[in-house]
């Protein structure tokens, strides 16, 4: 499984060199958000999100211009996330926190407006992120509620932002993005509880394209 991101990166770089799209280097500080609940038949169990936390996502994207008003956008991103939850079984309550890291492969569209100012365009960016988990770890050795995480995730992405033509071959861009996790990342727990946990990301994305 660890060879998959490397193989995809080689294929992606080869395709990019042939198609000659606009290549962007992107970094995105943001907040990792949790949606957690328990669907088991045990009414005494209560599971809820504990806290949100600052994370830093970065990577490379490629925009393939289809017309002046929209482009196909893909790339490769490294996205650290966190799952933190409060677990109460009726007799005791505890907090458990897990670190997760994903490689994201976007399949998205960018829709552009006409120039709102000279060399400035607004855009809407939406699509899906296909994610492969490359690392997971309990924040503390005593945390044992989650036995195993799913090796993948899928998120719906929506963003809006602005591009500025800073030169003949350079474009600066920035935007606000929301990524909503669609897959329950918890595959197996150490109890009989059916925990549903999905991870979202709200971020400020900044970058430069060449």
Per-residue pLDDT at 193? 78
The model's pTM: 0.87
Strands (E), 51-194: 53-65, 70-88, 93-117, 120-138, 146-149, 152-165, 171-181, 186-189
**Which residues, 6 or more positions from 6, have their beta carbon under 8 angstroms from its beta carbon?**
none
Q: For the chain, what is the domain count?
A: 1
Q: pLDDT 10s digit of each residue in the chain, 210 long? A: 555 556 655 665 555 555 578 999 999 999 999 999 888 776 678 899 998 999 999 999 999 988 889 999 999 999 999 999 999 887 888 999 999 999 999 999 999 999 999 999 999 999 999 999 999 999 998 998 999 999 999 999 999 999 999 877 899 999 999 999 999 999 999 887 789 999 999 999 999 999
Range of the domain at 193: 3-209
CATH of the domain at 189: 2.40.160.20
DSSP state at residue 41 = S
Cα dihedral value 120, 66, 131, 179, nearest 10? 40
Tokens read off for 85: 């939850």
Q: pLDDT of 121-178, one tens digit each?
A: 999 999 999 999 999 999 998 998 999 999 999 999 999 999 999 877 899 999 999 9
* Class of residue 99 by CB neighbours under 10 A (exposed 0-12, middle 13-18, buried 19+): middle
Are the C-beta atoms of residues 46 and 88 closer than 8 Å to each other?
yes
H/E segment holding residue 28: strand 22-38
């Amino acid at each position: 499984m660890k060879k998959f991101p490397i193989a995809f990166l080689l294929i992606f770089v080869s395709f990019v060199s042939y198609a000659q799209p606009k290549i962007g280097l992107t970094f995105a500080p943001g907040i990792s958000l949790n949606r957690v609940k328990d669907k088991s038949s045990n009414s005494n169990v209560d599971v809820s999100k504990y806290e949100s936390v600052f994370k830093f996502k970065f990577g490379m994207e490629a925009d393939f211009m289809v017309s002046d008003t929209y482009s196909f956008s893909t790339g490769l991103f490294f996205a650290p996330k966190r799952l933190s939850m409060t677990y109460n079984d009726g007799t005791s309550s505890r907090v458990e926190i897990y670190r997760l890291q994903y490689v994201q492969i976007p399949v998205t569209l960018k829709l552009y407006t006409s120039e709102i100012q000279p060399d400035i365009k607004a855009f809407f960016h939406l699509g899906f992120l296909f994610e492969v988990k490359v690392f997971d770890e309990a924040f503390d050795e005593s945390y044992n509620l989650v036995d195993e995480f799913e090796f993948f995730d899928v998120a719906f992405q929506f963003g809006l932002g602005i591009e500025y033509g800073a030169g003949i071959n350079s474009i600066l861009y920035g935007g606000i993005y929301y990524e909503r996790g669609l897959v329950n990342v918890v595959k197996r727990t150490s109890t009989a509880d059916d925990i549903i946990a999905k991870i979202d990301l709200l971020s400020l994305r900044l970058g430069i394209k060449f």
